[in-house]
Structure 1
Amino acid sequence: MIISKYDADALRAALGIEMSGIEGAGVGAGWGRVAPGLASDPDRHDETEVFVITAGHGEVVVEGRRQSVEAGSMVVFEPFETHVLENTGEDDLVFLTMYWRDAERAGQAASKSAGRLTERPQFVFSTPPTPNGDLHLGHLSGPYLGADAYVRFQRMNGAEAWHLTGSDDFQSYVQAAARRDGREPSETAAHFSAEIAATLELLDAAPDQYTVTNADGEYPDALREFFSRLVSSEGIAAKEAPALFDAATGRYLYEVDVSGACPTCHSTTSGNICEECGEPNSVVDLIDPVASASRTKPRTGTATRYMLPLHEYRQDVEEHQRAGRTPARLRELAHRIFQRAPYDVALTHPSDWGVEPAEPAAKGQVMWVWPEMAYGFLHGIQSLGRRIGRAWEASAPADDWKIVHFFGYDNSFYHSVLYPALYKLAHPGWKADIDYHVNEFYLLEGAKFSTSRRHAIWGKDILTPDSVDAVRYFLARTRPEGRRTNFETAAFGRLLDEELIGTWQHWLRDLGERVSKEYGGVVPDAGRWRPEHSAFLARLENRRRALTQALSADAFSLNQAAEELGALVRDAVRFSAQEASTAGIERWSSESRTAIALELAAAQLLAQCAAPVMPRFAGRLSAALGGSEPDTWPQTVQLVEPGTAVDLTDAVFFTPVAAHESGQA
């Protein structure tokens, strides 16, 4: 027999609170104490865990949901549930914990990740594009297709999810484009913002909220209020520091106005961020800098700007990254940055394009657009809420908000390091729950997309109602997830002609012809089942599960989803060929009906599971099978209702590249 009693003197600091262990219990066990006003660190693990509250009262927070607990309460945490225990009372909150590994339970919990966010509002952001040009395939392959497919899948699983983005109007790159074109920055921003919105429509990725910052009358004052929150937190302050200036014009230099070699990786870079290694620079630390306008070596002077001592917030950033989905690539970047010498980030810059803060010390300066974006996301949520009747306030972000960011690696520093620090300062009580999905560069024929070198395929050049699903599928298969990948025009043509038309469409039309010829165009009821039939059904179920996993929040990968869609079709084609030998033989007619019913079930599953990636194809295929637009994710593989009319024989889901180019599509 083992008897353990709570002993405050035996407690030691652990998980942000105080804990002590219990030996010999047969499971992991221990006592814990949460002092008034404190909370445990967010914890997520593969064990099943039980808390038994023995004194005090407070709240448990699981995946952003809060529940009151008090002495006598027992809470069971499933594997992989992120949980926090907070003391909201005036006395110590004391609890007993027990935890153990159960491989079967952990496996089941892992497979249920697709539905774990259904009870919370999800705000899924694709990086607000800079309106200094339209969107090309390099842009579209990453954040915009990713966020759209993510939201479609979440909605099919019953979640409240919205895709939000907007035009990042106050970028210095907009001002540079305006100077180049002889326009006002506001004209350039408005023109390309509209072009970008139109391209997203062509991709079938139009967001639910598209915020145009320079056209939103409430935005500037609300942004100033956010900045004032940062100043009043005393986490940032106006500080004189070295800066670069154009030796010929005296112009203050940052971002697009200056280039040089990155002080970390020595790649060619513009000011403030290196696209290659992802690390920020302070501009004055560029190697051999050159002013973009005069092509001269800049002179070094000083400027007084509001500065954030980022190194002081390492612990806050790392705690934030532990709480949500933060890929190792981003955690490694943060580690590199915090290993550097103390680093002050300039949050304001001298400029006449942007929003000037209200603070007198910032006169003649604007809030740098990247920290501005930290507020812009909250403003987008508020704007969406007002349109759909939800009381979401940018000034009071809620713990139950689930924010999901899709962005390119070159924006990683801002999203996963800078913004968590700013949110901690502006809203110290907010437990920002943010997941990050990052993509690398997408190349074109082996080289970077480049507007200046005319090395780009613009969205409007390739997207039509007849090509959009083929483009989405190709981008899903080749988008740069974890590595740089490449768009090749010839490879796209081969995939369209050989796979989507030559395999997918050929199989579906052939299936339609067989249903028409043998069963009068209606779905037959399954007859006798053979082992091969049940084995194929099991294979389809495995594909359904794999697609569910590939599109789920934790494991989201369009590369994997596209591979599984292609594999589902290949499975069906192989099964069809195997069963063809006995088709038309009367003595095996019952078994043939089962085979046809299973092929139709495969086609129906394809329509349902393709919906997040290829929505038009999915809708057309579902209609050809006598169904409605797929809006619910399949929980199992089901046979198509016998007697349903099928219209696949002459269905056209994809058209050849030549038809697109000649305007015949």
Structure 2
Amino acid sequence: MNTRTVVISPAPTANGDLHLGHIAGPFLAADVHTRYARAQGREVLLGTGFQDTSTFVVTTAHHRGVTPAELVATSAAQIEASLAALGIGVDGYTGDDDRFTKWVVDFVGRLHSAGKLELRTMKFPYSERTGEFLLDGFAAGGCPECLAESCAGLCESCGALVAAGELLGVRSTLDPEDPVVLREADVLVLPVERYREQLRAHFAANAAGMRPHMAQAMAQMLSRPLPDFPVTYPISWGIKVPFPEVAGQVVNPNAEPMAWSMHCTALAAEQRGVAAGTEDALWLAGAGSEIVYFLGFDNIYPFAIAGPAMLLAFDGQYDLPTRYLTNEFYELDHRKFSTSRGHVVWSRELAAEVPRDLIRFHLAATSPEHQRTSFSRDALARVTGTRLVEPWNRVADKVNRWIGLGPLAVSERSRRGAARMAERFAASYELAGFSLNRAAETITDQLARLDRREVTGADAGDFCFEVDRLLRAAAPILVDLAAAVLGEDAGAAPADVDSFTPAALPRLRPAEAGR
């Protein structure tokens, strides 16, 4: 039986701040589940951080006219501040320190020493003008699998691995006018095909741990031979490897996820006072950890195929992740967020203008769980106003009439109703059926029900009791409202009470539209 849940949201690239698209996807979902599970008395570790080894750091710095180091330093601080601004309670926040770098080299080094990595000659885009290979974010073109625009690494549209040498209409992202040719280089690869049947068996046994889009994509990818996965790249940006046959090369940033996840878990454990010992202690077979990812669909290859294949290469030393809660893209006014075009809403800036409970509720209501969804300021004001702010304020006014008149009697009927309400929320918060959309809908439905009720002295206790239980159930989303009313007692509460003394409820401030 699992003794703890390890919740991980893959690290965003340190090439800018977090916009609402980032928060609406994996981060809010991971935070909400973690808050709920802890309220049930479970042990949960939540980790994320930032990644500075991605070549997108270099390309972004180039276009902004700053050094990569300057961009990383600024972005790392912005990412951490934005998570805090939206109430994302991270335990382990990774960075670019020596401890992480050493662990990645050690992790890959053990695979190398065991003979699990093999030398392959592969073709890569190459700039003869600069004398550099163009990999990952350095090159763009068409995905050979789905034909959508992609980079020379992973396709964010179909989730497939993109062999750099097979990119269609390849061009340099640093200089689109620079002619690109293909050149061979020897790199170390993991022969992922060797582990395909084990991966198929694992994901078949854990099919309930994936949403439909990911399950479909995984079935398709695992139905045919898997290409060799490059673990090293012949470029200079990244974590240097000490292997003489690929001297001067670095770890492919998409080969870091399992080592990064273990490091992330170790930091989270240390923060919460959980004894771990080594970076990978909580990932060892039999350690009692359920590994759960909340991630964008575009991250499934490194975290669900290449990464687990690396774990399998350790011959049973590690347990594999069992759940992947994916999300699709969250757009702004039905167009993709774009920092370069100024088409973006920054998380911290919005949180400085709008109560973050309203932001969290709206992002939950519009979270892109199964298809692309969109954000607008007008919709934020309208949806939160009609579904949350206005009904809550009316309900709060009804409760506040009874302040100082308790304890008030609570009936068996009301206790049963509160229990059913808690069950509906639990169905949305538990991993087996996790859905921010349904959790937000349940808040809306229950508020509307309470808003319609006429409260008299005979049922004032029932009404105030059910409002309290609604707020407790909504606490993983409405963090500030719950904290203001319930304080440290925001978790689950006894249901078998005969009386209830209401506390004063604050009113919510509405969001402004059209800004």
TM-score, normalised relative to structure 1? 0.72
Change (3 A) 1:284 1:615: same
Verify the 8 A CA contact 2:395 2:451 in the aligned structure 1. Answer: yes
Residue 491 (structure 2) aligns with: 632
Task: Give the whole-Å Cα distance in 1 for the aligned partners of 2:101 and 2:150.
Answer: 30
- Distance (whole Å) between structure 2 residues aligned to residue 548 and residue 208 of structure 1: 23
**What SS class does the counterpart of residue 189 from structure 2 fall into?**
strand
Question: What does residue 191 of structure 2 align with?
Answer: 309
Residue 361 (structure 1) aligned with residue 245 (structure 2): yes
1:621 aligned residue: 485
* Whole-angstrom CA distance in 1 between matches of 2:149 and 2:321: 35
Stretches of structure 1 that go unaligned for 5 or more consecutive residues are 1-62, 65-119, 584-591, 623-627
Q: 2:149 aligns with which of 255, 265, 268?
A: 268
**Are residues 1:184 and 2:72 paired?**
no
Distance in 2 (CA, whole Å) between partners of 1:656 and 1:327 is 34
Aligned residues between the structures: 508
Conserved 8 A contact 2:358-2:511: no
Contact 2:8 / 2:30 at 8 angstroms: preserved in 1?
Answer: yes
1:559 partnered with 2:433: no
The 1-side partners of 2:135 and 2:490 are apart by 47
Structure 1 residue 466 displacement after superposition: 5.9
Q: Aligned partners of 2:221, 2:358: CA distance in 1, in Å? A: 40
Given that 2:326 and 2:369 are in contact with CA atoms closer than 8 Å, whether structure 1 keeps it comes out as: yes
Change (3 A) 1:639 1:288: farther
Q: 1:193 to 1:542 in 2, by over 3 A?
A: same
Q: Which has the larger radius of gyration?
A: 1
- How far residue 326 of structure 1 moved from its aligned partner, in angstroms, is 2.9
The equivalences for 1:442-481 within 5 A come to 442-464=330-352, 467-481=355-369
Contact 1:356 1:362 in 2 (8 A): no
Whichever residue aligns with residue 86 of structure 2, its letter is L
- What is aligned with 1:379? 263
1:560-639 equivalences under 5 Å are 560-574=438-452, 576-577=453-454, 583=456, 592-593=457-458, 595-622=459-486, 628-634=487-493, 636=495, 638=497
Matched, 1:393 2:255: no
Is 2:512 the counterpart of 1:655?
A: no
Which of 142, 163, 172 is the equivalent residue of 2:55? 172
Query: In 1, distance between residues paired with 2:237 and 2:425?
Result: 46
Secondary structure of the corresponding residue to residue 376 of structure 1? helix
- After TM superposition, list the pairs within 5 Å mapping 1:13-28 onto structure 2: none
Q: Structure 1 residues 637, 199: CA separation in 2 closer, same or farther (over 3 Å shift)?
A: farther
Distance, in Å, in 2 between the alignment partners of 1:181 and 1:540 is 54
d(CA) in 2 for partners of 1:191, 1:427 = 40
Three-state SS of the structure 2 residue aligned to 1:560 is helix
Within 5 Å, give how 1:264-343 maps onto structure 2. Answer: 264-295=145-176, 296-324=178-206, 325-343=209-227
CA contact (8 A) 1:523 1:646 kept: no
Residue identity matched to 1:229: R
Report the CA distance shift for 1:468/1:567 in structure 2 as closer, same or farther (over 3 A): same
Over residues 349-395 of structure 1, what are the superposed CA-to-partner deviations in whole Å (9 max), with x where a residue is unaligned? 12222111121122121001121121011112223344425134224
Distance 1:191 1:294 in 2: 24
Are 1:196 and 2:76 matched, yes or no? Answer: no
Picking from 489, 495, 512, the partner of 2:383 is: 495
Query: Contact between 1:479 and 1:485, CA under 8 Å: does it hold in 2?
Result: yes
Cα distance, 1:656 vs. partner?
2.3
For the pair 1:219 / 2:100, whether they are aligned, the reply is yes
- Cα distance, 1:645 vs structure 2: 5.7
| Equivalent pair of 2:409/2:499 in contact (CA under 8 Å) | no
**What residue number does 2:422 align with?**
544
Shift of 1:243: 1.5
Which residue identity does 2:425 align to in structure 1?
L
Q: Which has the higher contact order (CA 8 A, sep 6+)?
A: 2
1:226-253 CA-to-partner distances (Å, cap 9, x unmatched) read 1111113323212111111124333201
Distance 1:233 1:329, change over 3 A: farther
Is the 8 Å Cα contact of residues 605 and 637 (structure 1) preserved in structure 2?
Answer: no
Contact kept in structure 1, 2:9 and 2:293, CA below 8 Å: yes
Superposition deviation, residue 455 in structure 1:
0.9
Q: Classify 1:436/1:639 alpha carbon distance in 2 versus 1 (closer, same or farther; 3 Å).
A: farther
**Partner secondary structure for residue 318 of structure 2:** coil
Report what 1:509 is aligned to.
397
Alpha-carbon deviations, 1:152-207, whole Å to 9, x = none? 11111111112101111111111212223343322221210011000111011131
Given that 2:26 and 2:296 are in contact with CA atoms closer than 8 Å, whether structure 1 keeps it comes out as: yes
Q: Encode CA deviations 1:79-122: one digit per residue, 9 max, x unaligned.
A: xxxxxxxxxxxxxxxxxxxxxxxxxxxxxxxxxxxxxxxxx122
Residue 657 of structure 1 aligns to a residue whose secondary structure is coil
Q: Name the residue aligned to 1:59.
A: none
- Asked if 1 retains the 8 angstrom alpha-carbon contact of 2:86 and 2:348, the reply is no
C-alpha distance in structure 1 between counterparts of 2:503 and 2:40, whole Å:
27
CA deviation vs aligned residue, 1:60-87 (integer Å, no higher than 9, x gap): xxx34xxxxxxxxxxxxxxxxxxxxxxx
The structure-2 alpha-carbon separation of the partners of 1:544 and 1:383, relative to structure 1 and needing over 3 Å to count, comes to: closer
CA distance in 2, matches of 1:153, 1:511: 25
Does residue 1:352 correspond to 2:236, yes or no? yes
Contact kept, 8 Å, 2:465 with 2:502, in 1: the verdict is no
CA contact (8 A) 2:14 2:52 kept: yes
What's the CA shift string for 1:292-315, capped at 9, x where partnerless? 233244211101111122222111
2:489 is aligned with what amino acid? P
Corresponding position of 2:30: 147
Give the Cα–Cα distance (whole angstroms) in 1 for the partners of residues 321 and 227 of structure 2: 26
Question: What's the offset of the Cα at 1:428?
Answer: 2.9
Measured in 2, the distance between the counterparts of 1:640 and 1:274 equals 57
Structure 2 distance, partners of 1:645, 1:601, is 7
Asked if 1 retains the 8 angstrom alpha-carbon contact of 2:59 and 2:173, the reply is no
Is the 8 Å Cα contact of residues 245 and 299 (structure 1) preserved in structure 2? Answer: yes
Q: Distance in 1 between matches of 2:434 and 2:277?
A: 27
Structure 1 residues 304 and 607 mapped into 2: Cα distance closer, same or farther (>3 Å)? same
SS of residue paired to 1:621: helix
| Larger mean Cα displacement after TM superposition, 305-314 or 379-388 | 379-388
Please report how far the alpha carbon of residue 429 of structure 1 lies from its aligned counterpart in structure 2 after TM superposition.
Answer: 2.7
1:11 maps to which residue?
A: none
SS at match of 2:166: coil
Shift of 1:660: 12
Match of 1:526 among 396, 409, 414: 409
Q: 1:600 is matched by which residue type in structure 2? A: C
Q: Which amino acid aligns with 1:170?
A: T
Let me know the Cα RMSD of the aligned residues. 2.3
Contact in 2 for aligned 1:248/1:294 (Cα 8 Å): no
Which has the higher mean CA deviation after the structures are superposed, 229-238 or 479-488?
A: 229-238
Q: Secondary structure at the match of 1:143?
A: helix
In 2, Cα distance between equivalents of 1:487 and 1:465: 16
Partner Cα separation in structure 2 for residue 640 and residue 143 of structure 1? 40
Q: More deviation in 242-251 or 484-493?
A: 242-251
| Shift, 1:553, TM fit | 2.0
8 Å CA contact retained: 1:259, 1:290: yes
AA at the equivalent of 1:621: V
Distance in 1 between the 2:194 and 2:15 partners?
A: 35
Distance (whole Å) between structure 2 residues aligned to residue 206 and residue 362 of structure 1: 40
Compute the displacement of 1:449 (Å).
Answer: 0.9
- What's the offset of the Cα at 1:256? 1.5
Deviates more, 1:324-333 or 1:277-286: 324-333
